[in-house]
Amino acid sequence: MELPAKFWFKLRRLKQAWNSMFNNQHESYDTSHRMCPNCRALIDRSAKVCPLCGAETGPARARSRPSAEPGKVLGVIPVPRTATAILIAVIMVMYGIEWYMTQTLAGASSGPSWGGISAGVMLRLGGKFGPLMYAGQWWRLITAMFLHASLLHIGFNLWCLFDLGPEVEMLFGTQKFLVMYLVTGILGFVASLWWNPWALSIGASGAILGLIGVLIGTSFHHGSLGKDYRSMLWRWVIYIFIFGLFFSVDNAAHLGGLVSGLALGYLIPSGEPATRAEQQIWDGLSLVSVLLIVGSFALMALQINRPM
Protein backbone atom coordinates (compact mmCIF):
# COMPACT_ATOMS: atom_id res chain seq x y z
CA MET A 1 0.00 0.00 0.00
CA GLU A 2 1.36 3.44 -0.94
CA LEU A 3 2.06 5.66 2.04
CA PRO A 4 0.46 9.13 2.22
CA ALA A 5 2.43 12.06 0.79
CA LYS A 6 2.26 13.79 4.17
CA PHE A 7 4.11 10.88 5.77
CA TRP A 8 6.89 11.04 3.16
CA PHE A 9 7.20 14.81 3.70
CA LYS A 10 7.60 14.29 7.46
CA LEU A 11 10.12 11.48 6.89
CA ARG A 12 12.20 13.62 4.52
CA ARG A 13 12.15 16.56 6.94
CA LEU A 14 13.26 14.28 9.79
CA LYS A 15 16.14 12.96 7.68
CA GLN A 16 17.19 16.50 6.73
CA ALA A 17 17.17 17.54 10.39
CA TRP A 18 19.26 14.51 11.35
CA ASN A 19 21.79 15.19 8.59
CA SER A 20 21.94 18.85 9.57
CA MET A 21 22.53 18.03 13.23
CA PHE A 22 25.35 15.56 12.57
CA ASN A 23 26.74 17.22 9.42
CA ASN A 24 26.22 14.16 7.23
CA GLN A 25 25.97 16.13 4.01
CA HIS A 26 28.70 14.37 2.01
CA GLU A 27 26.56 11.47 0.91
CA SER A 28 24.97 13.24 -2.07
CA TYR A 29 28.19 14.83 -3.36
CA ASP A 30 28.97 13.84 -6.97
CA THR A 31 32.65 12.73 -7.22
CA SER A 32 32.39 11.34 -10.78
CA HIS A 33 32.71 14.81 -12.37
CA ARG A 34 34.96 17.83 -12.01
CA MET A 35 35.02 21.38 -13.38
CA CYS A 36 37.01 22.31 -16.48
CA PRO A 37 39.57 24.97 -15.42
CA ASN A 38 39.04 26.85 -18.72
CA CYS A 39 35.30 26.90 -19.50
CA ARG A 40 34.09 25.72 -16.06
CA ALA A 41 31.86 23.02 -17.53
CA LEU A 42 31.31 19.77 -15.67
CA ILE A 43 33.29 17.00 -17.36
CA ASP A 44 34.20 13.42 -16.61
CA ARG A 45 36.71 13.23 -13.80
CA SER A 46 39.17 11.09 -15.80
CA ALA A 47 39.08 13.27 -18.95
CA LYS A 48 42.45 14.81 -19.93
CA VAL A 49 40.90 17.17 -22.52
CA CYS A 50 37.64 19.07 -22.12
CA PRO A 51 35.21 17.79 -24.81
CA LEU A 52 33.52 21.23 -24.94
CA CYS A 53 36.38 23.72 -25.26
CA GLY A 54 39.29 21.41 -26.12
CA ALA A 55 41.53 22.70 -23.32
CA GLU A 56 43.80 20.33 -21.48
CA THR A 57 42.49 19.73 -18.00
CA GLY A 58 45.56 18.27 -16.38
CA PRO A 59 45.55 15.36 -13.95
CA ALA A 60 42.58 15.02 -11.65
CA ARG A 61 43.33 16.10 -8.11
CA ALA A 62 43.08 13.23 -5.70
CA ARG A 63 40.36 13.60 -3.13
CA SER A 64 41.08 12.69 0.45
CA ARG A 65 39.08 9.64 1.33
CA PRO A 66 37.16 9.88 4.56
CA SER A 67 38.17 7.58 7.33
CA ALA A 68 36.25 4.34 7.73
CA GLU A 69 34.10 5.86 10.44
CA PRO A 70 34.14 9.65 10.10
CA GLY A 71 32.77 11.60 13.01
CA LYS A 72 31.65 8.59 15.03
CA VAL A 73 32.47 7.28 18.48
CA LEU A 74 33.49 3.60 18.26
CA GLY A 75 32.28 3.73 14.66
CA VAL A 76 28.65 3.75 15.78
CA ILE A 77 27.56 6.91 17.62
CA PRO A 78 27.60 10.14 15.54
CA VAL A 79 29.60 12.95 17.12
CA PRO A 80 27.34 15.99 17.72
CA ARG A 81 28.32 18.84 15.39
CA THR A 82 25.63 21.44 16.08
CA ALA A 83 24.44 23.22 19.20
CA THR A 84 21.08 21.44 18.94
CA ALA A 85 22.74 18.02 18.84
CA ILE A 86 24.97 18.87 21.80
CA LEU A 87 21.99 20.07 23.85
CA ILE A 88 20.11 16.85 23.07
CA ALA A 89 23.16 14.78 24.03
CA VAL A 90 23.54 16.60 27.38
CA ILE A 91 19.82 16.19 28.15
CA MET A 92 20.02 12.46 27.43
CA VAL A 93 23.14 12.04 29.57
CA MET A 94 21.52 13.90 32.47
CA TYR A 95 18.41 11.73 32.24
CA GLY A 96 20.63 8.63 32.38
CA ILE A 97 22.25 9.99 35.57
CA GLU A 98 18.82 10.81 37.02
CA TRP A 99 17.52 7.33 36.30
CA TYR A 100 20.63 5.64 37.76
CA MET A 101 20.45 7.67 40.98
CA THR A 102 16.72 6.96 41.29
CA GLN A 103 17.27 3.22 40.90
CA THR A 104 20.14 3.31 43.38
CA LEU A 105 17.99 5.08 45.97
CA ALA A 106 15.09 2.69 45.34
CA GLY A 107 17.25 -0.26 46.37
CA ALA A 108 15.32 -3.51 46.28
CA SER A 109 12.14 -1.86 45.00
CA SER A 110 11.78 -1.09 41.29
CA GLY A 111 11.45 2.67 41.74
CA PRO A 112 8.96 4.88 39.89
CA SER A 113 7.32 3.40 36.80
CA TRP A 114 7.69 4.62 33.21
CA GLY A 115 11.22 5.81 33.82
CA GLY A 116 10.05 8.17 36.55
CA ILE A 117 12.61 10.14 38.53
CA SER A 118 12.32 10.67 42.28
CA ALA A 119 11.82 14.22 43.54
CA GLY A 120 14.90 13.94 45.75
CA VAL A 121 17.11 13.18 42.75
CA MET A 122 15.66 16.06 40.75
CA LEU A 123 16.30 18.38 43.68
CA ARG A 124 19.91 17.24 44.15
CA LEU A 125 20.71 17.50 40.44
CA GLY A 126 19.53 21.10 40.20
CA GLY A 127 15.77 21.33 39.85
CA LYS A 128 14.18 24.75 40.27
CA PHE A 129 13.11 25.19 43.91
CA GLY A 130 12.53 28.65 45.36
CA PRO A 131 13.83 28.31 48.94
CA LEU A 132 17.20 26.96 47.76
CA MET A 133 17.45 29.51 44.95
CA TYR A 134 16.71 32.41 47.30
CA ALA A 135 19.49 30.99 49.50
CA GLY A 136 21.98 31.61 46.68
CA GLN A 137 21.71 28.61 44.36
CA TRP A 138 20.94 30.72 41.26
CA TRP A 139 22.49 28.10 38.99
CA ARG A 140 19.30 26.03 39.31
CA LEU A 141 17.77 28.36 36.71
CA ILE A 142 20.12 26.67 34.22
CA THR A 143 20.57 23.08 35.44
CA ALA A 144 16.79 22.61 35.69
CA MET A 145 16.60 23.03 31.89
CA PHE A 146 18.50 19.76 31.40
CA LEU A 147 16.50 17.57 33.80
CA HIS A 148 13.31 15.58 33.11
CA ALA A 149 10.85 13.68 35.27
CA SER A 150 9.98 10.64 33.12
CA LEU A 151 10.37 8.95 29.75
CA LEU A 152 7.22 10.68 28.51
CA HIS A 153 8.54 14.05 29.66
CA ILE A 154 11.95 13.75 28.03
CA GLY A 155 10.49 12.07 24.94
CA PHE A 156 8.07 14.91 24.22
CA ASN A 157 10.67 17.62 24.85
CA LEU A 158 13.35 15.93 22.72
CA TRP A 159 10.86 15.45 19.90
CA CYS A 160 10.08 19.19 19.95
CA LEU A 161 13.75 20.17 20.26
CA PHE A 162 14.72 17.80 17.44
CA ASP A 163 12.11 19.46 15.22
CA LEU A 164 12.55 23.12 16.23
CA GLY A 165 16.24 23.34 17.15
CA PRO A 166 17.77 22.82 13.69
CA GLU A 167 15.22 25.22 12.18
CA VAL A 168 16.10 28.07 14.55
CA GLU A 169 19.83 27.28 14.42
CA MET A 170 19.89 27.36 10.59
CA LEU A 171 17.82 30.56 10.54
CA PHE A 172 19.87 32.53 13.08
CA GLY A 173 23.20 30.74 13.28
CA THR A 174 24.71 28.72 16.11
CA GLN A 175 25.80 31.62 18.32
CA LYS A 176 22.43 33.36 18.30
CA PHE A 177 20.58 30.07 18.73
CA LEU A 178 22.58 29.11 21.82
CA VAL A 179 22.06 32.51 23.44
CA MET A 180 18.33 32.48 22.65
CA TYR A 181 17.89 28.96 24.01
CA LEU A 182 19.63 29.79 27.28
CA VAL A 183 17.96 33.19 27.79
CA THR A 184 14.41 31.94 27.12
CA GLY A 185 14.97 28.88 29.32
CA ILE A 186 16.24 31.04 32.20
CA LEU A 187 13.43 33.58 31.88
CA GLY A 188 10.93 30.73 31.79
CA PHE A 189 12.11 29.52 35.18
CA VAL A 190 12.25 33.12 36.46
CA ALA A 191 8.52 33.36 35.65
CA SER A 192 7.95 29.98 37.34
CA LEU A 193 9.89 31.14 40.41
CA TRP A 194 7.76 34.27 40.62
CA TRP A 195 4.48 32.39 40.13
CA ASN A 196 5.12 29.46 42.47
CA PRO A 197 8.47 29.51 44.29
CA TRP A 198 7.65 26.42 46.36
CA ALA A 199 7.07 24.12 43.40
CA LEU A 200 9.86 21.82 42.19
CA SER A 201 10.10 22.30 38.44
CA ILE A 202 12.37 20.91 35.72
CA GLY A 203 12.46 20.45 31.96
CA ALA A 204 13.49 22.00 28.66
CA SER A 205 9.94 23.03 27.74
CA GLY A 206 10.41 26.68 28.77
CA ALA A 207 13.31 27.00 26.30
CA ILE A 208 11.37 25.01 23.69
CA LEU A 209 8.44 27.44 23.98
CA GLY A 210 11.10 30.11 23.67
CA LEU A 211 12.16 28.66 20.31
CA ILE A 212 8.53 28.67 19.17
CA GLY A 213 8.31 32.30 20.29
CA VAL A 214 11.48 33.13 18.34
CA LEU A 215 9.98 31.67 15.16
CA ILE A 216 6.71 33.53 15.73
CA GLY A 217 8.59 36.79 16.38
CA THR A 218 10.73 36.57 13.25
CA SER A 219 7.71 35.58 11.13
CA PHE A 220 6.42 39.17 11.40
CA HIS A 221 9.24 40.18 9.04
CA HIS A 222 8.25 37.73 6.27
CA GLY A 223 4.94 38.99 4.89
CA SER A 224 2.08 36.64 3.98
CA LEU A 225 4.30 33.56 4.15
CA GLY A 226 5.22 34.49 7.71
CA LYS A 227 1.55 34.99 8.56
CA ASP A 228 0.63 31.45 7.47
CA TYR A 229 3.58 30.01 9.38
CA ARG A 230 2.72 32.10 12.44
CA SER A 231 -0.85 30.79 12.55
CA MET A 232 0.45 27.22 12.53
CA LEU A 233 2.84 27.96 15.41
CA TRP A 234 0.11 29.67 17.44
CA ARG A 235 -2.02 26.52 17.16
CA TRP A 236 0.93 24.54 18.52
CA VAL A 237 1.21 26.95 21.46
CA ILE A 238 -2.52 26.64 22.23
CA TYR A 239 -2.32 22.83 22.22
CA ILE A 240 0.65 22.90 24.62
CA PHE A 241 -1.09 25.23 27.08
CA ILE A 242 -4.33 23.20 26.95
CA PHE A 243 -2.28 20.07 27.66
CA GLY A 244 -0.74 21.90 30.61
CA LEU A 245 -4.16 22.61 32.12
CA PHE A 246 -4.93 18.90 32.52
CA PHE A 247 -1.50 17.65 33.59
CA SER A 248 1.10 18.74 36.12
CA VAL A 249 2.90 21.13 33.76
CA ASP A 250 4.66 24.39 34.61
CA ASN A 251 2.68 26.77 32.40
CA ALA A 252 4.35 29.77 34.04
CA ALA A 253 7.73 28.60 32.68
CA HIS A 254 6.08 28.00 29.29
CA LEU A 255 4.68 31.53 29.25
CA GLY A 256 7.95 33.11 30.34
CA GLY A 257 9.87 31.26 27.64
CA LEU A 258 7.28 32.07 24.97
CA VAL A 259 7.10 35.82 25.71
CA SER A 260 10.88 36.23 25.88
CA GLY A 261 11.24 34.23 22.66
CA LEU A 262 8.70 36.46 20.90
CA ALA A 263 10.71 39.53 21.84
CA LEU A 264 14.06 38.04 20.81
CA GLY A 265 12.73 36.70 17.51
CA TYR A 266 11.22 40.06 16.59
CA LEU A 267 14.18 42.22 17.65
CA ILE A 268 17.16 40.09 16.58
CA PRO A 269 17.72 39.90 12.81
CA SER A 270 17.94 36.42 11.34
CA GLY A 271 21.03 35.20 9.52
CA GLU A 272 24.70 35.49 10.33
CA PRO A 273 26.01 38.77 11.86
CA ALA A 274 26.40 41.47 9.21
CA THR A 275 29.64 43.04 10.50
CA ARG A 276 32.80 41.83 12.19
CA ALA A 277 31.97 43.81 15.34
CA GLU A 278 28.55 42.18 15.50
CA GLN A 279 30.14 38.77 14.96
CA GLN A 280 32.48 39.38 17.89
CA ILE A 281 29.56 40.37 20.11
CA TRP A 282 27.66 37.17 19.36
CA ASP A 283 30.81 35.09 19.72
CA GLY A 284 31.30 36.63 23.16
CA LEU A 285 27.68 36.11 24.20
CA SER A 286 27.72 32.47 23.09
CA LEU A 287 30.98 31.91 24.99
CA VAL A 288 29.39 33.41 28.12
CA SER A 289 26.40 31.09 27.61
CA VAL A 290 28.63 28.02 27.44
CA LEU A 291 30.57 29.12 30.53
CA LEU A 292 27.31 29.68 32.44
CA ILE A 293 26.08 26.19 31.59
CA VAL A 294 29.39 24.53 32.48
CA GLY A 295 29.74 26.62 35.64
CA SER A 296 26.19 25.78 36.76
CA PHE A 297 26.83 22.06 36.43
CA ALA A 298 30.12 22.47 38.33
CA LEU A 299 28.32 24.24 41.19
CA MET A 300 25.66 21.53 41.20
CA ALA A 301 28.34 18.82 41.42
CA LEU A 302 30.01 20.58 44.37
CA GLN A 303 26.85 20.48 46.50
CA ILE A 304 25.31 17.21 45.31
CA ASN A 305 26.19 15.29 48.49
CA ARG A 306 25.59 18.09 50.97
CA PRO A 307 22.52 18.02 53.23
CA MET A 308 19.65 19.93 51.62
Q: Is 26 a catalytic residue?
A: no
Q: How far is CA 13 from CA 3, 9, 156, 163, 271, in A?
A: 16, 6, 18, 9, 21
d(CA 99, CA 111): 9
- Which residue is catalytic, options 205, 260, 286, 289? 205
With CA atoms as reference, report the closest residue to 41 among 52, 56, 49: 52
- 103 near 111, Cβ under 8 Å? yes
Specify the 3-state DSSP secondary structure of 40: coil
Tell me the DSSP string of 117-163: --HHHHHHTT-B-HHHHHTT-TTHHHHGGG--SSHHHHHHHHHHHHH
Question: CB within 8 A of 1, min separation 6: which ones?
Answer: none
d(CA 294, CA 132): 20
- 115 near 99, Cβ under 8 Å? yes
Q: Is 205 a catalytic residue?
A: yes
Q: How far is CA 69 from CA 27, 75, 77, 82, 212, in A?
A: 13, 5, 10, 19, 35
Q: Which residues pair with 128 in a beta bridge?
A: 201
- Which residue is catalytic, options 148, 254, 260, 286? 254
Catalytic residues: 205, 254
